[in-house]
Amino acid sequence: MHFKVSEIVNALHAPAVDEKFADREVTGVTFDSRQIKPGMLFVPLAGERDGHEFVPAAIAGGAAATFWAADHTENIPQDFPVIQVPDPLTAMWDLSAHYLHKINPKVVAVTGSNGKTTTKDMVATILATQYNVAKTYANYNNEIGLPYTILNAPTNTEVLVLEMGMDRPGQIAHMTKLAQPDVAVITMIGEAHIEFFGTRAKIADAKMEIVQGLSADGTFIYNGDEPLLRERAEKVPQKKRTFGDGPSNDLYPISVQPAPQQTQFVTNKWSDVTFTIPMMGEYNIFNALAAIQVARQFHVLPEKIAQALRKFVPTANRAQWLKGDDGEQILSDVYNSNPTAVKDVLHDFVQVPTTGQRIIVLGDMLELGDHAAALHAGLAQSIDPRQIQQVFLYGNEMQALAAALADKYGAAGLHYYPTGDQSQLIKDLQATIHNPDLVLLKGSHGMHLENVLAKL
């Protein structure tokens, strides 16, 4: 991002600021005064506290200018470029649209119930082999994160890779109409956020909103194994490409070689190229296939794709192997959780050989609403005492799974802890785990199993 204050004022049709500030350079944006750096524009957003309270701290930190809501008539900073707008968040959206038009990159938009962050990161890693690429930071994938990502993209960005999350209908539609992607990707449809939507069909409808902003000559890439997507894709007039498990898809694996630290596969398109991703889990192949399909739209050679995927660095706590204090191997997958994701990681975890015990630590899967008890209990079908010797369950919702496993496991192998009893969970895990055990940690981010991980 690179603006003069006067350009921001003009782009937003805002009241003029003092002429002595008109040529001041603005080189970034933030809504968090703790992250302010000299030259940044500060956006005071409404949250638990009014963001306007933090404007003095932003100014002290070197902010070049600040938005200011017009209905805030008190404590307006003096002798400083204050850009008055009806609403700071809307102004950030409008400015990001102006900036996107100004730098004019190709845009890739990614959504899905599982795998969207990993796919976004894979796409960015591959395309960076021959383009200047910017991408959504961490999981800044909502109405605040999207304009934040756009405005902080360097002016020489050629491809912008944007992750789009949601928890209600209309959210992705709003974001895709701003981004106007050239390529839109849906990784899969699961049960995530079913609390807000009620059915997987309605989740599919919400995810399909991503094509509402897709350019007329753009490409829609989706998981062709999902009937809900195949049915809805028929109405999409743009070019379509699928990935999945079987030959009905445009791109699919013809051989797979799983291993604890990596997964190798060959696709139907290039039988002489072996792709390697440094992640356990056959389910991650489909994230890679989605990324490969995107790369094909940008004419990246398969050899370059393979080289980039070998060097791919996944986001922390996503199928990440770590070594515990007692020498045990820990598979940390505590970033988020839903039934599909848990079943997938369990399927691969039990295939990792060990001379010790396999121990799983599962936290509540949040945002499942009225379906929560049944979906938690349903995980029992994927948990076998012959493969997993110790089960630790944390959270009020996990009580349903504990009840479903009671007949399979005795008290020595099944351990349940209600929400808030994490300290006892940690103590019992530390007393149970030894080298050479394998440990899996999986739960929704709101259960904060990363604290358990840190203690191990």
Q: Residues forming the annotated binding site?
A: 112-118
436: preceding bond cis by omega (within 30 degrees): yes
Whether the CA torsion 116, 119, 123, 125 is positive or negative: it is positive
As a whole number of angstroms, the distance between CA 67 and CA 85 comes to: 7
- For 133, 170, 367, 456, the CA distances from 192, given in Å and listed in that order, are 29, 16, 7, 28
Structure tokens at 223: 């998981």
Query: Residues within the annotated binding site for ATP?
Result: 112-118
DSSP state string for 157-212: -SEEEEE---SSTTHHHHHHHHH--SEEEE----STTHHHHSSHHHHHHHHGGGGG
By the 10 Å C-beta count (0-12 exposed, 13-18 middle, 19+ buried), 49 is classed as exposed
DSSP 403: H
Q: Are strands 106-111 and 25-26 parallel, antiparallel or unpaired?
A: unpaired
Question: Torsion angle, CA of 400/401/406/410, rounded to 10 degrees?
Answer: -130
